[in-house]
Chain A
Amino acid sequence: MRASDLLRQSWLALRRAPGRTALLLLAMAIGVAAVVVLTSLGEGARRYVTGEFASLGTNLLIVIPGRSETTGGAPAIFVGQTPRDLTLDDARALQRSYAVRRVAPVVIGSAAVSWGGLEREVPVFGATAELLAVRHWEMGSGRFLPAGDWDRPSSVCVIGEKLRSEIFGNTPALGQWLRVGDRRFRVIGVLGSEGRSIGIDVQDIVILPVTQAMSLFDVPSLFRILVEATSRDSMDAAARFIRSTVAGRHQGEEDITVITQDAVLSTFDRVFGALTMTLAGIAGISLVVAGVLIMNVMLVSVSQRTSEVGLLKAIGAPRRQIVQLFLAEAVLLSMFGALIGLAAGYGGSALIGELYPALPVGPPWWAVVAAVVVAVASGLVFGSLPARRAARLDPVIALAGR
């Protein structure tokens, strides 16, 4: 039997039962569309997060106290004590390289802030003037911490926009004295509302001069040091310089971890890549369900067409041809279903892209290929049982319609 005749016969059989065919196409299409839309969402989330990270500031290196063999994450914070603290002097020493543009030491804690009887517990950053530029934040009003000597303990603070509105309401915040812990600081600036930082809501923080924060929390060491390299090409040089400088200051021991933006990015890339795969797997189950449905309906169809199978055998079709005829039907169904599903999936993901322009949706190529392959494979696998059953029919009994 010719391949073209095989396809034509299967096509005629499918067209003869339009309701059944439409239902199976729908089932398969839903499965494929689910894979396309879900992976496209996962991929969108991945692109969104990595994009956000890139916008945090390129050329960024993060210095964390404590040695870790792995990259990414924040190992030293959770894994025991570090042998030596990162000090303000360490940070100062990091400024002395052509590869480094800015150094921003950071202390993080939390404290109660109050003004005029209103009190809140908020995250407190200890920082220097460099943080604004390193983090690419914008000022809403006023100015950021004064540049110059890091050791000068000026009693000023910068607050987030959300904190401003909740504490001061309609009262102008600039120039007000805000109580943080047991000290008072004059508000000199409010961060713009577009400022963002992964992990912490920048709208709801207080930023103090670093020495003030260290003495407020009574800590001798820095939480971390943010270093901005002069260019993307000097990242490696900057990282080497940071390691050797800190090692030189810490009796030759390299007891810090330097995380580059790339390492953080690739970690998130992996996390969201895995998420997308998981979504694909979950959606893939619906493809298998569609395959089972095809099997069910094909089984019914075989029993309805028993006498036809008997006739085919009588006019010269061997078992193999009967198997081929029914398999071709299952594969045609799953292939057309997959095509419709692809169209619907791409349409759906484009629609999501329209509704949420910030999310760069788009299915990854491997998910599209896998969806079609799994769809056709499930048609083949689940179609083979009914096809075999048809081929095994006894022609005499089949023709008698029993």
Chain B
Amino acid sequence: MPMIELDKVDRVFEVGDEQVRALDQVDLQIEAGEYLSIMGPSGSGKSTLLNLLGLLDRPTAGRYLLDGRDTTRLDDREQALTRGEKIGFVFQAFHLVPRLTAAENVELPMVLAGIAPGLRHSRVAEALASLGLSDRAGHRPDQLSGGQRQRVAIARATIMAPELLLADEPTGNLDTHSGDEVIEVLEQLNASGLTLLVVTHDPQLGVRARRQLKMVDGRIVRDERR
């Protein structure tokens, strides 16, 4: 059974009088542990696909099975719970909470999940250490470099030990060096079993993935394995 199964998924936005078909009859199967990149021009629907896979958005038509479960039938609370437990997000803009320290940002998903403070602290320390951020634990986002911020965001995305990591232009706001570091971290996570899906404009980044999707006008026009 594939981990992710999309079955004729449509996602239609109403923009004024017009209907924009961001996803058009998308069929997709992803096995656990895969490393995918999704490439394509702006407006091709790759971010919409990512949001939909991350349960931030719902399909207009079609089915999305995650671990064999039809996610379109989940209510808000169940969806939120699934996001918290199974899915991690890494954003181009990092989305760290500015008033919280690096450690507190990493801790946040566990706070929401109601995990005991003692356990939280040891897991945060471990996660920061594995990303080489131990000495930055007490720093706030504005005191960190871009690469450090994204690594904190990755620590936050993985702290709940999700099965699926969704990265939307993870290197888009970083210089080449920091970008490479971040990608290496993500690939290491994939190597340890995490399913990794990266949306990017950057062909150099895209070709690193073992499976490469290309999207145009809401359709998957190419699906290559390397």
* Pairwise interchain contact A320-B56, C-beta atoms closer than 8 A: no
| Neighbour of B80 across the interface among A311, A313, A399, A401, CB < 8 A | A313
| Neighbour of A317 across the interface among B93, B112, B157, CB < 8 A | B112
B residues within 8 A CB of A312? 108, 112
List of 3 A-B pairs having minimum Cβ-Cβ separation, nearest first: A316-B84, A318-B80, A16-B99
Digit string of A371-402 for contact with B (CB within 8 Å is 1, else 0)?
A: 00000000000000000000000011001010
A residues within 8 A CB of B84? 315-317
* Pairwise interchain contact A1-B57, C-beta atoms closer than 8 A: no
Within 8 A of A (CB), among B84-111: 84-85, 89, 91, 93, 95, 97-100, 104, 108-109, 111
* Pairwise interchain contact A314-B56, C-beta atoms closer than 8 A: yes
| Neighbour of B56 across the interface among A307, A318, A396, CB < 8 A | A396
Digit string of A12-45 for contact with B (CB within 8 Å is 1, else 0)?
A: 1101100000000000000000000000000000
What is the interface residue range for chain B against chain A? 20 to 34
* Pairwise interchain contact B56-A315, C-beta atoms closer than 8 A: no
Separation of A297 and B89 alpha carbons in the complex (Å): 30
Nearest-CB distance from A28 to chain B (Å)?
22
A residues within 8 A CB of B16? none
Q: Which of B89, B95, B117 counts the most A-chain CB atoms under 10 A from its CB?
A: B95
Once A9-B111, A396-B51, A401-B93 are accepted as A-B contacts, the answer to whether A314 and B76 lie under 8 Å apart by CB is no
Separation of A318 and B81 alpha carbons in the complex (Å): 7
Q: Is A245 an interface residue (CB 8 A)?
A: no
| Neighbour of A321 across the interface among B54, B100, B112, CB < 8 A | B112
Digit string of B116-143 for contact with A (CB within 8 Å is 1, else 0)?
A: 0100000000000000000000000000
Measured CB to CB, the residues of A under 8 A from B are 1-2, 5, 9, 12-13, 15-16, 307-308, 310-321, 395-396, 399, 401
Nearest-CB distance from B177 to chain A (Å)?
26
* Pairwise interchain contact A314-B54, C-beta atoms closer than 8 A: yes
Digit string of B52-78 for contact with A (CB within 8 Å is 1, else 0)?
A: 001011000000000000000000110
Nearest-CB distance from B97 to chain A (Å)?
6
| Neighbour of B89 across the interface among A2, A16, A315, A317, CB < 8 A | A315
Q: List 11 A-B contacts (CB under 8 A).
A: A1-B112, A5-B117, A13-B99, A16-B98, A310-B95, A314-B83, A315-B83, A316-B84, A316-B113, A320-B77, A396-B51
Nearest-CB distance from A247 to chain B (Å)?
79
Measured CB to CB, the residues of B under 8 A from A are 51, 54, 56-57, 76-77, 79-81, 83-85, 89, 91, 93, 95, 97-100, 104, 108-109, 111-114, 117, 156-157, 160
Nearest-CB distance from A384 to chain B (Å)?
17
| Neighbour of A313 across the interface among B83, B91, B99, CB < 8 A | B83
* Pairwise interchain contact A316-B83, C-beta atoms closer than 8 A: yes
Once A1-B112, A311-B95, A399-B95 are accepted as A-B contacts, the answer to whether A316 and B57 lie under 8 Å apart by CB is no
Nearest-CB distance from B200 to chain A (Å)?
17
- Who on chain B is nearest to A3 by CB? B114
| Neighbour of B91 across the interface among A2, A5, A12, A399, CB < 8 A | A399
A residues within 8 A CB of B109? 315-316
Separation of A156 and B51 alpha carbons in the complex (Å): 104
Separation of A313 and B98 alpha carbons in the complex (Å): 17
Separation of A317 and B80 alpha carbons in the complex (Å): 6
- Who on chain A is nearest to B50 by CB? A396
B residues within 8 A CB of A320? 77
B residues within 8 A CB of A395? 51, 56-57
